Amino acid sequence: MIDPGSSSAILAELAERGVDQVINSHFHFDHIRFNHLFPNADIVVHEYDEEAMSDKSKFAVKYSAARIEGMPWVERLVSALNGEIRTPEGLTCFAYDPEFYRSVGRVSATYRGDRGMSLGDEYLEVIHTPGHADSMCCFFFPSESLCYVSDYNVLTAWGPWYGGEDSDIAQMIRSADKVRSIKADHFVSAHDRAILSRPEFLHHLERFLSRVEERNRTIKTLIAAGLSFQELMSKGLFYDQKYHNKCWVKIWETMMLIKHLEHMGFEELIPQCCRIEARKPRFYVSNRRSDFRVTGCGDFPGPGDVLEHSESEHG
């Protein structure tokens, strides 16, 4: 079983029939979500995902939550998931979709990119294609001349996603060269409801990648017009602003914007608190709750609330 991310009823039925190995192409929630329906199977992940898939905090950090919301936010998220913090709507509100966290915490084995893997009678080639996620791999089945291209979901008009701490726009584009060179007759992605012939896939891949340049151009124009980071955020360049009250959407909107600013050399526009070099002092000064002032909603932070570090308490 590769990437059990949806259709839980079908997956549960398959689990009952007997699945001995679940392989995740990368750690994203929509690829690992129903790993937990396969308690008797080995869970096999890319070596770069071993840590994140073994520990809920590290999972959230890799998903950008720490850079945007701070480490205390992550720790509170994990406490909520573990049932240590209970509020009326706390868990669903704070954790957004807690179900996928049930799949975090168990890893049986790891695989590495750019080598072969035997699965019973079947053989597949693992092609490491970082960028969307540092671990992401495509799986080529030579006997079927079919390649599973994970999140090179080229039919989406939305374009590629790179909102993770480990995402990298330039790498994602370079990895597309690797994907183009895969000698498969057919390609299937994790999200598109189609198996595409090689010419179809390659055609749509170019359009898919062109979204990156379109986004660059839009952002450049807005910067030239004098927009600040916050004003760029308010444009909802990736996710419509009406969804920014959902914690993960806001986190990913912020990270996607940061990734573009880094990619185009506009680092000076990135708020200090979100710059990589600022991570350590911001996140690890202390994790005592009293050391952080919570703005927004009562004694339990809502998804979009900012946990502000109170300088005066640390001198």
The conformation of residue 166, written as its DSSP 8-state character, comes to T
Give me the residue label for tokens 């168990």. 106
Among 22, 23, 24, 28, binds Fe ion (CB under 5 A): 28
Q: How far is the CB of 26 from Fe ion (least distance, A)?
A: 6
Tell me the one-letter amino acid at 193.
R
Tell me the one-letter amino acid at 83.
G
Q: Mark the segment that binds Fe ion (CB under 5 A) among 7-15, 23-31, 75-83, 302-310.
A: 23-31
Q: How far is the CB of 108 from Fe ion (least distance, A)?
A: 21
In the bound state with Fe ion, the residue whose beta carbon lies nearer, of 134 and 151, is: 151
Rounded Cα–Cα distance for residues 314 and 158 (Å): 44
Sites for Fe ion among residues 139-198 (CB under 5 A): 151
# residues contacting Fe ion (CB under 5 A): 2
Residues in the chain: 315
Question: What is residue 277's three-state secondary structure?
Answer: helix
The angle, 0 to 180 degrees and rounded to 10, between the axes of the packed helices 169-180 and 247-264 is 80
Q: How far is the CB of 27 from Fe ion (least distance, A)?
A: 8
Which residues, at least 6 apart from 282, have a Cβ–Cβ distance to it below 8 Å? 70, 71, 273, 309
Element (H, E) at 29: helix 29-32
In the bound state with Fe ion, the residue whose beta carbon lies nearer, of 151 and 165, is: 151
Q: Mark the segment that binds Fe ion (CB under 5 A) among 27-35, 105-113, 231-239, 280-288.
A: 27-35
In the bound state with Fe ion, the residue whose beta carbon lies nearer, of 151 and 253, is: 151
Rounded Cα–Cα distance for residues 182 and 173 (Å): 15
Rounded Cα–Cα distance for residues 165 and 202 (Å): 28
Q: How far is the CB of 11 from Fe ion (least distance, A)?
A: 18
Q: Mark the segment that binds Fe ion (CB under 5 A) among 14-22, 26-34, 50-58, 163-171.
A: 26-34
- DSSP secondary structure string for all residues of 85-154: S--TTHHHHHHSSGGGGGGTT---EEE-SSEEEEETTEEEEEEE--SSSTT-EEEEETTTTEEE-TT--T
In the bound state with Fe ion, the residue whose beta carbon lies nearer, of 49 and 125, is: 49
Position of minimal CB gap to Fe ion: 28
In the bound state with Fe ion, the residue whose beta carbon lies nearer, of 27 and 38, is: 27
Q: How far is the CB of 301 from Fe ion (least distance, A)?
A: 26
Site string for Fe ion, 110-139 (x = CB under 5 A): ------------------------------
Kindly report the backbone phi and psi dihedral angles of residue 271, in degrees, each rounded to the nearest multiple of 5, phi listed first: -55, 145
Q: How far is the CB of 214 from Fe ion (least distance, A)?
A: 20
Q: Mark the segment that binds Fe ion (CB under 5 A) among 11-19, 28-36, 152-160, 254-262.
A: 28-36
In the bound state with Fe ion, the residue whose beta carbon lies nearer, of 28 and 62, is: 28
SS3 percent helix, strand, coil of the chain, rounded to 5, is 45, 15, 40
In the bound state with Fe ion, the residue whose beta carbon lies nearer, of 49 and 151, is: 151
In the bound state with Fe ion, the residue whose beta carbon lies nearer, of 29 and 141, is: 29
Q: How far is the CB of 28 from Fe ion (least distance, A)?
A: 3
Q: Under the rule (CB under 5 A), what is the footprint of Fe ion?
A: 28, 151
